[in-house]
Amino acid sequence: MVYMNIFYRKLQWPLFDGLYLVNRVSQYPDYLHHQDGYDETKRYGNLKNWPEYNEDIQPIRDTIPVGSEFTIQIIKSPGLGWHIDRNRKVSVLYLLQGEAYTYFKKDDVVHKTMFDKNSWYLFNNDEMHCVEGVQELRVALCIDLTNEYGDYNTAVKQLGNWL
């Protein structure tokens, strides 16, 4: 069994200047609050309510449901332990900065991967996973697709032409 396919898939979405997005969104404190239990994760509302138009996020707006919530995820050294996300079943991850290993576990088998920077990944948040080996801040854009697709398998079917 190829475990990668049940944990994550690379998406062929357009690239964009994600660090610009991080810098701009940090200027809007109304969009900033911490997710329960994770001081390292900052949630910033949704794209529909984005306070300004700019062409850097237009490719994202054109591709995903505009009401999808997004998070700028900041993980400090040494990483984030084993967990299953409570409210997020499926998301898209775009790694902006830093390197780290992401581990997934199913049926006592552990799969290890390192995501490429500036690439989109469909991510199964409903499987046991952790992030380890963070040397510098690991910063990623995470777009929650749970409300749109419900779960990872449905998202894979619906986004099949982007995989």
Domain ranges of the chain: 4-162
Three-state SS at 59: helix
| Distance (Å) of CA 46 to CA 57, 67, 147 | 12, 6, 12
Lowest mean pLDDT among 39-43, 53-57, 94-98: 39-43
Q: Are 21 and 141 in contact (CB under 8 A)?
A: yes
Q: Are 89 and 122 in contact (CB under 8 A)?
A: no
- Tens digit of each residue's pLDDT (9 = 90 or more) over 124-141: 999 999 999 988 878 888
Q: Answer whether CATH 2.60.40.10 is correct for domain 4-162.
A: no
- Tens digit of each residue's pLDDT (9 = 90 or more) over 58-99: 666 666 666 677 777 778 788 888 999 988 999 999 888 888
The whole-chain average pLDDT of the chain stands at: 77
pTM of the model: 0.80
At residue 21, the pLDDT reads: 64
Q: Is the dihedral of CA 116, 4, 102, 152 positive or negative?
A: positive
